[in-house]
Amino acid sequence: MSPVKVTLSRLDRLFLARVADQAERYQDVVDQIKDLASLSEGLLTVDERNLLSIAYKNLTSNLRNGWRTIDTLEKKGGHTQRQISLMRVEKQRIRDELVRACKDVVDLMDSQLIPFASPGEEKVFYSKMKGDYYRYLAEFSKGESNDQSGAKSLDAYKWAYKHALTTLEPTHPTRLGLALNFAVYYHDIMDSPERACFLAKHAFDAAISVLSSQGTKALPVHTVEDTLMILQLLRDDMILWAGEFM
């Protein structure tokens, strides 16, 4: 019996994406949301956008963690040269898969999502994602590829941050999340804990100033938890990084 062809509506695809997310089938989530983006000319709802972001995050986090686990095992020593060679082969396989996933993200951002995003939070969100995945590429690339990915990550972060400063409140979680990841870029890719601390402190102080004068009641109810969580992460990173240059 030949399979029955079913025409899927937008709600059908969103439902399937949510089911795939619950089943931890993150590539299936990506595929459904990418189809939605194509059908809707790059316009995604907040729910669709968040599902896409979480799916890509899980896909790449698993790969990054896998590579680091094998790298740690390799560095522990006590392995034969043959075993070391096999571990390096596996690390290269993981790196290649990670590169494909990251390039898939930035291609989607550039071709379908950023060009049609609304000014403000949506534009910042997608540009931040672009910066994040170029940063991951820079982490696992070597030589000229590392330099190119690092430069593209910096460009995306700079544009997003400049746009965020003029369109989003200092307490907005998307603006704070961008500041956090941009600071991580300066620390991890540029090897500059001082610049990372400066950026993190600027974002932290601006948000705290608002909260000191207005309190959390001034924040939308659905953002309070995210805002406070990111502020804590900024604070923790500042303390950690400050010890590296003071």
What is the b/e burial string over 190-205, where b = at least 16 CB atoms within 10 angstroms of the residue's CB?
A: eebbebbbebbbebbe
Residue 242 has pLDDT above 60, yes or no: yes
What is the b/e burial string over 136-151, where b = at least 16 CB atoms within 10 angstroms of the residue's CB?
A: bbbbbbeeeeeeebbe
CA distance 118 to 134: 22
What confidence score (pLDDT) does residue 220 get? 83
Query: What does the domain layout of the chain look like in residue ranges?
Result: 1-118
Amino acid at site 191: D
More confident residue, 7 or 88: 88
**DSSP character for 5?**
P
What is the b/e burial string over 14-48, where b = at least 16 CB atoms within 10 angstroms of the residue's CB?
A: bebbeebbeeebbebbbbbbbebbeeeebbbeeeb
What are the φ and ψ backbone dihedral angles of 41, each rounded to 5 degrees?
Answer: 55, 45
Long-range contacts of 69-75 (CB under 8 A, 24+ apart): 70/94
What confidence score (pLDDT) does residue 144 get? 74
Do the Cβ atoms of 143 and 192 come closer than 8 Å?
A: no
The residue assigned the tokens 């534009």 is 123
The contacts of residue 206 (CB under 8 Å, 6+ apart) are 170
pTM: 0.91
Q: pLDDT digits over 210-236, tens only?
A: 999 888 777 888 889 999 999 999 999
User: Of 178, 169, 166, 164, whose CA–CA distance to 230 is shortest?
Assistant: 178
Rounded to an integer, the average pLDDT of 125-147 is 91
Residue 1 has pLDDT above 60, yes or no: no
Alpha carbon 96 to its chain centroid, in Å, reads 18
What confidence score (pLDDT) does residue 4 get? 52
User: Please, what is the average pLDDT of the chain?
Assistant: 93
Residue 202 has pLDDT above 90, yes or no: yes
The contacts of residue 134 (CB under 8 Å, 6+ apart) are 102, 106, 149, 150, 152, 153, 156
Rounded to an integer, the average pLDDT of 157-177 is 97
What confidence score (pLDDT) does residue 241 get? 95
What confidence score (pLDDT) does residue 84 get? 95
CA distance 117 to 56: 19
Residue 129: how many CB atoms within 10 A of its CB?
Answer: 25
Do the Cβ atoms of 143 and 107 come closer than 8 Å?
A: no
Do the Cβ atoms of 128 and 168 come closer than 8 Å?
A: no
> What CATH number was assigned to the domain covering residues 1-118?
1.20.190.20
